[in-house]
């Protein structure tokens, strides 16, 4: 056990945090540099500490109760949330369960290695389980039953939506009050800029730690992803379905960002789109894991763009099944029918003969076939979502890398 008591009464909270930052820069410069670059704000309505990905909020009473090694652990915990971009990876997940998963992931893996080295001391109440060592937050989120997640307690979240502030009481509420979504006056561009700021902070911290000869090797994969980001294929898919041009504008929800500058301007009104026709390649070359992956993303896109109907056509060398889903339907019931050869032209023929009000044509496939461009549908462009990086050079091509969820 590392010796040390709580903050002395004659030391201010700000100086206690400053002492922790100095200790971190010496003992764990990667985390220390992230913390030193980050703005701190005191908030009495949170239980311990929290971050929106760019700022660290803290409860002064809780901070003062911690010994210096425990305070360093707390600050490193928030730094890990920033380093792992947890606020930006949350998406539409349940905020309480996402916090639960993120805490288990970092507490049981990278932070625990610092504890074992004697650098920090873990706070007793922190979530920790050896079975989650080297598990991603996403993997834990999917594995843990909802029944095991404790009920949300006010001010308990460490990971809050980008641009949020606990002082506003809107730390996890977004557009239309949807939990876990970005604050409603932040545009997608604003969120992207905040994420880029966080990435630049992490890269700068890595250079500092490297110059001091103390950059942990377990972060090499994270840094590589930040330095060499892959194309956001999910965004490309949604753009291919919805298009670039907004449907309409509305004054019912004025643009809040411009209001702050004194301009009363309309915001974008998104309407539901037309029908989406999907070829689900059910040939034998498509593994069950590949099928699960592409269908999972189809569900996400459909939930976001809310088409009039989604036609999912299971097809190998023949059309084996046609499923139609309407707004509100559950797309989880996508049983697979097929496992034969591969002939996309059978699907294209079906579309030409049966499709109406086509918004988009999407092919979920591994591209293991020869394409006759003369047989492509003429009623709408084709978007290929492939598990293999083989661009047909016709229509929109989106590569779904292995290991992506």
Domains of the chain: 13-227 (no CATH), 269-399 (3.40.50.410)
Question: Can you tell me the distance from the alpha carbon of 33 to that of 201, in angstroms, rounded to the nearest whole number?
Answer: 9
Supply φ then ψ for residue 216, to 5 degrees.
-60, 135
pLDDT at 81 over 50: yes
Question: Can you tell me the distance from the alpha carbon of 238 to that of 300, in angstroms, rounded to the nearest whole number?
Answer: 9
Q: What is the CA radius of gyration of the chain?
A: 24
Question: Can you tell me the distance from the alpha carbon of 81 to that of 76, in angstroms, rounded to the nearest whole number?
Answer: 9
pLDDT at 75 over 90: yes
The residue length of the chain stands at 405
pLDDT at 181 over 50: no
What are the pLDDT digits (tens) for 124-170? 888 888 888 888 888 899 888 888 888 878 878 889 988 888 877 54
What are the pLDDT digits (tens) for 207-237? 888 888 777 776 777 777 777 555 455 565 6
Sign of the dihedral through C-alpha 159, 160, 166, 170? negative
pTM: 0.57
Q: Is 5 exposed, middle or buried (0-12, 13-18, 19+ CB in 10 A)?
A: exposed
- Average pLDDT score over the chain: 80
Question: Can you tell me the distance from the alpha carbon of 364 to that of 276, in angstroms, rounded to the nearest whole number?
Answer: 13
pLDDT at 49 over 60: yes
Least confident of 8-17, 136-145, 192-201, 303-312: 303-312
Q: Decide which of 21 and 184 is more confident.
A: 21
Contact between 88 and 137 under an 8 Å Cβ cutoff? The reply is no
Tell me the DSSP string of 85-133: THHHH-TTS-HHHHHHHHHHHHHHTHHHHHHHTTS----TTS---GGGT
Reference 294, options 309, 282, 276; nearest CA is: 282
**What is the model's pLDDT at position 315?**
93
**What is the model's pLDDT at position 251?**
47
């Amino acid at each position: 056990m590392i010796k040390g008591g709580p903050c002395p009464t004659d030391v201010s909270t700000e100086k206690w945090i400053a002492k922790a930052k100095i200790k971190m820069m010496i003992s764990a410069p990667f985390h220390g540099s992230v913390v030193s670059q980050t703005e701190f704000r005191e908030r009495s309505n949170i239980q311990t500490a929290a971050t929106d990905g760019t700022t660290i909020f803290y409860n002064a009473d809780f901070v003062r109760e911690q010994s210096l090694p425990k305070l360093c652990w707390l600050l490193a915990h928030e730094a890990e949330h920033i380093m792992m971009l947890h606020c930006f990876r949350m998406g539409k997940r349940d905020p309480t369960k996402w916090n639960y998963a993120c805490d288990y992931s970092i507490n049981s893996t990278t932070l625990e290695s610092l504890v074992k080295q004697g650098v920090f001391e873990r706070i007793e109440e922190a979530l920790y389980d050896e079975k989650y060592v080297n598990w991603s937050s996403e993997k834990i989120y999917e594995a843990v039953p909802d029944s095991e997640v404790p009920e949300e307690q006010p001010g308990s979240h460490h990971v809050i939506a980008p641009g949020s502030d606990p002082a506003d009481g809107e730390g996890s509420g977004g557009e239309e009050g949807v939990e876990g979504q970005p604050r409603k006056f932040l545009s997608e561009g604003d969120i992207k800029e905040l994420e880029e700021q966080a990435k630049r902070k992490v890269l700068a911290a890595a250079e500092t730690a490297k110059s001091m000869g103390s950059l942990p090797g377990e972060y090499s994969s994270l840094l590589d992803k930040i330095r060499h980001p892959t194309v956001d294929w999910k965004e490309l898919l949604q753009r291919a379905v919805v298009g670039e041009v907004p449907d309409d504008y509305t004054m019912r929800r004025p643009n809040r960002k411009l209001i702050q500058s004194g301009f009363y301007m309309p915001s974008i009104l998104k309407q539901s789109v037309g029908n989406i026709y999907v070829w689900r390649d059910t040939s034998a070359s498509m593994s069950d894991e590949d099928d699960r992956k592409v269908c999972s993303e189809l569900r996400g896109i459909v939930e976001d763009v809310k088409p009039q109907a989604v036609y999912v056509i299971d097809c190998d060398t023949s059309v084996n099944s046609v499923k139609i889903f309407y707004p509100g339907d559950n797309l989880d019931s996508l049983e697979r029918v097929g496992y034969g050869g591969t002939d996309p032209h059978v699907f294209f023929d079906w579309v030409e003969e049966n499709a109406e009000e086509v918004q988009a044509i999407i092919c979920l496939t591994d591209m293991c076939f020869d394409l006759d461009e003369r047989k492509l549908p003429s009623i709408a462009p084709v978007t290929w979502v492939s598990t293999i990086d083989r661009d047909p050079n016709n229509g929109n091509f989106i590569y779904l890398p292995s290991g992506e969820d």
